[in-house]
Structure 1
Amino acid sequence: MTPLDDLFPGYDSVVVPTSAGAISARVGGSGSPVLLIHGHPQTGVMYHRLAPRLAVSHTVVVPDLPGYGESEAREPDAAHGPYDKRSMGNALVEVMHSLGHDRFAVIGHDRGGRVAYRLTLDHPENVTKLSVLDIVPTLEVWDSWDRERGMQLYHWTMLAQQSPIPETLLKDSSVDWLNLILSWGTTGTFGDYSVFDERALDHYRAFIRQPDRIRAICEDYRAGATTDTEHDEADRAAGKMIQAPVLVLWGVRGVPANHDVTPVDIWRRWAVDVRGEALRCGHFLPEEAPEATAEPLLRFLSD
């Protein structure tokens, strides 16, 4: 296979053993620490345009989630661990501790946003601030599920089907699946990937061709339909709220924009201090609109 281009020149590459397997991460910049968590169907590479803007004033840590990118893809257990968001969040806290960061800000996009808010609920002593990019809480999505939501988020139920149904469907078409999801989430026309760097696309395609990574993706979504939702339900029943300040950013053509109320209104059911704004882009904020995404993030982090 042709070697993949390094999209984080000057960053350190680390591999940290964790309870969810070995986690690969890139570390750069200087200042107060910020953890950047990617989503599906990508890897930490998705932050290659945003991270340098944040690294001017912050130490940025960009991991690949368990089963994604260059991180270890362990056999799942009966509860879909380590691909449930609690297990992923615990592993990333271990990564940050290994790098000497006991208190840090967290930014998460897509599935990484779900890891980010679960981590913040489970480890409030470690998180100074939280920003979620183009998501609302998992339980809120399921609670709003209807015909329109099902058509929009069909992959939530397709990938969550019992093994090996989705693995079999993706086995010989995983790159087509990746292309479909990336094209679906942007403001361009269908089949237009021009907002993405070709070198980044090479990373995503190399990752998603591997059977153990396909399995990890499916386990991520199976957890989202079961274990993750149970954790959300338990916190909501207990009245547990995110205490750290929260910044919500979403694309005007992103997923949360289609709810009946604003994402800020939804997040105020889960956190005590929430602010947010819409950006003129689709779902993939860090790659479609890195400058517009960095500006409110930097204000928020320095506030």
Structure 2
Amino acid sequence: MSAPFFPGFEARSIELGDARIHVEVGGSGPPLLLLHGYPQTHVAWHRVAPVLARHFTVVAPDLRGYGDSAGPAGDPLHLNHCKRTLAADKLALMRALGFERFAVMAHDRGARVGYRLALDTPEAVRCFVSLTVIPTEEMWKRAGMAFGLKAFHWYLFAQPFDLPERMLRADPAYYLDWTLRNMVQKVDAVTPEALAEYHRAFAKESVRHAMLEDYRAAASIDLQHDHEDLAAGRRLACPVQVLWSASNTARPDPAEVWKTWADTVEGGTVDCGHLMAEEAPDEVLAHVLPFLRRHA
């Protein structure tokens, strides 16, 4: 898997208690953790990771249950797949690789893991880049009809086991293709090779179940954790950069939203859809490299 997507990287499988994490490691310099989103795998970073690896030691894992990583089945409280648990995975992974402090760059579901990691273990995270994401509590607070029609899966996937599992099982390949088409503005953003890799992972019942548990957690225990942080006045201590699609005209913009959660925030727009690192890798790198060089 490394050769076509991450030339020169080493693929490893690391046991972490009840989870086994597949990870690609490459490059040299300060450590940088890359966290992918739904419905992808670490391959989501294949257009930016080789460039980042010229400046950083890049660590690109599959989230628990996604891709070639594995973990336990869901539980009634969704603790096995909540962002606090996934963040603890990533902290343990970085420790296993010998990194005490590191930068985090994350997209979609991975960004929810990333900011939880920065909130729960501020001593570990030097800086945080969020692609397309605002905190879960803020997302639900702003969700309305337009969001529900566009991102209906937030509601479908949060339904109890095993209704969504059965629905996805009916035609997973069609659903994945439909989803990815509706996430991008540039129709050729996802390469045939990357698409084949996403299909390979999404075909696994265990992967789809982990994704659904991820969303169930976001509508329950993750939201509770965010509420507790707000009530306690906890904020991200590290510098934050947020990038969002230029077509997103919501007010306030995501950078302003993040200022409720972090002391130091900067941000900007990228001319693409949701899959930023695949649709507009050069533009993303133009934003993140100066930020990461300053703070990582």
TM range (shorter): over 0.9
Q: 1:51 Cα deviation (Å)? A: 0.4
Q: Give the counterpart letter for 1:202 in structure 2.
A: A
Structure 2 counterparts to residues 85-124 of structure 1, below 5 A: 85-124=83-122
In structure 1, the residue matched to 2:282 is: 291
CA distance 1:252–1:20, shift in 2 (3 Å):
farther
- Between the aligned partners of 1:285 and 1:20, the Cα distance in structure 2 is 32
Shift of 1:121: 0.3
Please tell me whether the aligned partners of residues 20 and 88 of structure 1 are also in contact (alpha carbons under 8 angstroms).
Answer: no
What is the correspondence of 1:144-293 to structure 2 with a 5 Å cutoff?
A: 144-188=142-186, 192=187, 194-253=188-247, 257-293=248-284
Q: TM-score, normalised by structure 2?
A: 0.96
- Once the two structures are superposed, residues 160-217 of structure 1 have per-residue CA deviations (whole angstroms, 9 ceiling, x without a partner) of 10111100000021121211221111114xxx4x111111111100100111111111
- Mapping 1:50-89, distance limit 5 Å: 50-89=48-87
The TM-score, its normalising length taken from structure 1, stands at 0.94
Deviation at 1:263, TM superposition (A): 0.4
- How far 1:17 moved relative to its partner? 1.2
RMSD: 1.3
The separation in 1 between residues aligned to 2:261 and 2:18, in whole angstroms, is 26
Q: Equivalent residue of 1:143, what SS?
A: helix
Q: How far 1:289 moved relative to its partner?
A: 0.6
- Structure 1 residue 258: Cα displacement: 4.7
Does the residue aligned with 2:273 lie in a helix, a strand or coil?
coil
Residue 81 of structure 2 aligns to a residue whose secondary structure is coil
User: 5+ unaligned residues in a row in structure 2: which ranges?
Assistant: none
Q: Could you say which residue in structure 2 is the equivalent of 1:44?
A: 42
Supply the distance in 2 between the matched residues of 1:129 and 1:89 (Cα, whole angstroms).
15
Cα 1:276–1:20 change in 2 (3 A) is farther
Q: Distance in 2 between matches of 1:268 and 1:140?
A: 12
Q: Which residue of 2 aligns with 1:27?
A: 25
The farther-off stretch of 6-15 and 136-145 is 6-15
Is the 8 Å Cα contact of residues 20 and 87 (structure 1) preserved in structure 2? Answer: no
- Is the aligned partner of 1:302 residue 2:296? no
Structure 1 residues 61 and 4 mapped into 2: Cα distance closer, same or farther (>3 Å)?
closer
Aligned length: 294
SS at match of 1:171: helix
Conservation of the 8 A alpha-carbon contact between 1:67 and 1:212: yes
Shift in CA distance, 176/122, structure 1 to aligned 2, threshold 3 Å: same
Contact persistence 1:4–1:203 (CA under 8 A): no
State the Cα deviation string for residues 56-112 of structure 1 (Å, max 9, x = none). Answer: 010000000001000014212222132111000000000000000000000110000
Query: For each residue in 1:23-46, what CA deviation from the matched residue of structure 2 results, as whole angstroms up to 9, or x when unmatched?
Result: 000000000000000000000000
Tell me which moved more, 35-44 or 75-84.
Answer: 75-84
Q: Secondary structure at the match of 1:28?
A: strand
Structure 2 residue matching 1:82: 3-state secondary structure: helix
The CA deviation at 1:221 is 0.4
Identity %: 38
Between stretches 170-179 and 217-226, larger displacement belongs to 170-179
What SS does the aligned partner of 1:206 have? helix
Distance 2:162 2:112 in 1: 24
Superposed displacement of residue 4, structure 1: 9.5
Query: Which whole-Å CA distance do the structure 1 matches of 2:86 and 2:283 have between them?
Result: 28
